[in-house]
Every structure is written in C-alpha cells, then in structure tokens.
C-alpha cells in the first residue's frame, strides 16, 4: 500500500495519473517518459541520467517540458543530468 501511495502521489504531482492503470504499449511518449523517470526517482539513486530526451519525447518541445517536470520533482530527485547533442545546447537555459 505504501508503494502504491508513493507512486500515485508522484503521478499526481506530475499530472500523469492517467498512466497509472495503463500497460506499456498503451502509454504515450510523455507518459512513458514520466513513468520511467518516476521509477528511477523512487530508487533514490545519486544521479539520474536522461540520455537524448528528444528520442524519448519526439512529440514535445522537450527542454521547457523537462525543466517544468524536474521542477515538480525537485525535492524527490538527488541529481538529474541530461545528455543531449551539442547542437541542441541553445535549447537549454544556461546553468
């Protein structure tokens, strides 16, 4: 019950509660990305690495989406690194 409550709470925070009862083939790209990120976050690793997010989120302008999503999970994630092609650097705000 505690794990289900934690998962539901994270889905609620990210606005993806619709993904809760779907099987993987039925998930949208966005839902699949969020559920993968949340599965990683629950394990509380020191670093979560997102490799080439454009391949995982082909339907979204992903840099602002990632910024908003990671902001919603800021207190849950230890550190999240995004690896992307160098030519996509202008898409990200300077940090």
- For 32-90, write each residue's pLDDT tens digit: 999 999 999 998 999 999 999 999 999 999 999 999 999 999 999 989 999 999 998 88
How would residue 95 be classed by pLDDT, with cut points 50, 70 and 90? low
pLDDT at 3: 85
Q: Is the dihedral of CA 75, 7, 12, 68 positive or negative?
A: positive
Q: What is the pTM for the complete model shown?
A: 0.88
How would residue 92 be classed by pLDDT, with cut points 50, 70 and 90? confident
Tell me if 53 sits within 8 A of 82, measured CB to CB.
Answer: yes
Tell me if 27 sits within 8 A of 12, measured CB to CB.
Answer: no
Tell me if 76 sits within 8 A of 41, measured CB to CB.
Answer: yes
């Amino acid at each position: 019950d505690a794990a289900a409550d934690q998962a539901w709470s994270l889905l609620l925070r990210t606005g993806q509660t619709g993904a809760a009862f779907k099987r993987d083939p039925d998930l949208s790209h966005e839902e699949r990305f969020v559920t993968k990120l949340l599965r990683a976050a629950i394990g509380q690793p020191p670093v979560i690495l997102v490799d080439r997010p454009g391949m995982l989120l082909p339907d979204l302008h992903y840099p602002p989406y990632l910024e908003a999503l990671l902001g919603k999970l800021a207190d849950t994630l230890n550190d999240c690194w995004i690896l992307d092609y160098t030519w996509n650097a202008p898409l990200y705000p300077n940090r």
